[in-house]
Amino acid sequence: MTDKVMEKIDQMVKSQPVVLFMKGTPQAPMCGFSANTVRILRDVLGEDFATVNVLEDQSIREGIKQYGQWPTIPQLYVDSELVGGNDIITEMYNTGELHELLGLAPPDRTAPEITITDEARKHIESGLEELGEQVLYLNIDDQFNTRFSVEQPKGYEIVADANGIPIYMDIGTAKRANGIEIDWVDDIQGSGLVIRNPNEPAPVNQLSAQALKQRLDAGENFKIYDVRSEQQMAAGTVPGARRLDKNSIAEIEQMPKDTPLVFVCNMGNTSQGAAEFFRKKGFSNVHNLAGGIAAWQSLGD
C-alpha cells in the first residue's frame, strides 16, 4: 500500500472515538460478521459510532488489513486502537469488557423469565437427549428474529431455567426474551414450537386514506415517507411526505421509537415492506397507507 493510502486510513481511524471498518453499511451490511458487529455496537452505543464501507474502495479494503496487521473484516477501532474483529467483539460484549472499554456501566446479566408449557417441554426434551456437552441456545436479534440452536457453551452466556430446561443466550437476547412463552401447537399448518414475545413491537397498522386525512386535518404530527422515485412523487404524494432515501433512513433511526411513522407507495405493497423494516428496528407506532397513493388520490384532494 502507498503512503497516501495509509495516511488516509490513519485519518479515518482518528476521525471518531469509535470507528468500524465493515463490508456494507449499518443499514445494509454485506456480510454476516459485519451485521453482527453492527448489532452489538448499536446495542451498546446506539448510533454513536462511525463506519467505513471497505467495499467502496479496494485500496482501503486491502490497506486496513496492513494498517492494523489484522487479516479480516470487520475491524473495530476505539480511540485509534485496534480492538479486533467480530469474534473478539462478540466475546467482549458478552463478558462486559466492551462496555468497560467504552466507559459504560456493565451490562445487566439478569436471567429473563421464560415460560415453557408442559407440551413444549416434552418435545424439547426429546430433541435434547443426545446433546452430550452441547446446550440449547436461544437467539433473538435486534429485529426480533428468533431461533433455537444446539451449540457448545462458551462460558459467558446467561442461562435461564424454564420449566426445568436450561436455555443459554447472549446478553442482547436476554433483554429481548423476558416474559416470552414457548408453546407447542398442532394445527392444519403442522406441528412445532410457537414463541410469543411481548417485547416485540406492535404490528404495522393499516391506515386508510380517509383515516390518514382525518388525522392530518386534526393536526396529528405524522412523519410521512414515500418509498417511490422522485419522478413518481412529483406526480403527486401525501402532503408533507419525504422520499425514503439514505438520508431519511438515517434520520428515522435517530428518532424516538414511538415516533408515528407512515409509509406510502403506489398501492400499499412496497411501503408495507418499508414499514415492517422499521417495526423490526423497534419502532412501535408504524403505519402503512392502505391502497397507497391510488387510495389517497381517490379522495379527490
Cell 497516501 found at = 4
CA proximity to 270, closest of 241, 239, 291, 298: 291
In whole angstroms, what is the distance from residue 149 CA to residue 203 CA?
26
Question: Which residues are CB-neighbours of 246 under 8 A, at least 6 positions away?
Answer: 27
In whole angstroms, what is the distance from residue 186 CA to residue 124 CA?
15
- Tallying the residues shown for the chain, one arrives at 301
Positions marked catalytic: 265
CA proximity to 207, closest of 279, 296, 274: 296
CA proximity to 87, closest of 77, 96, 76: 76
Cell of 68: 492494523
In whole angstroms, what is the distance from residue 51 CA to residue 34 CA?
11
In whole angstroms, what is the distance from residue 34 CA to residue 21 CA?
9
In whole angstroms, what is the distance from residue 216 CA to residue 150 CA?
50
Torsions phi, psi for 3 (to 5 deg): -60, -30
Sign of CA dihedral 34, 35, 40, 46: positive
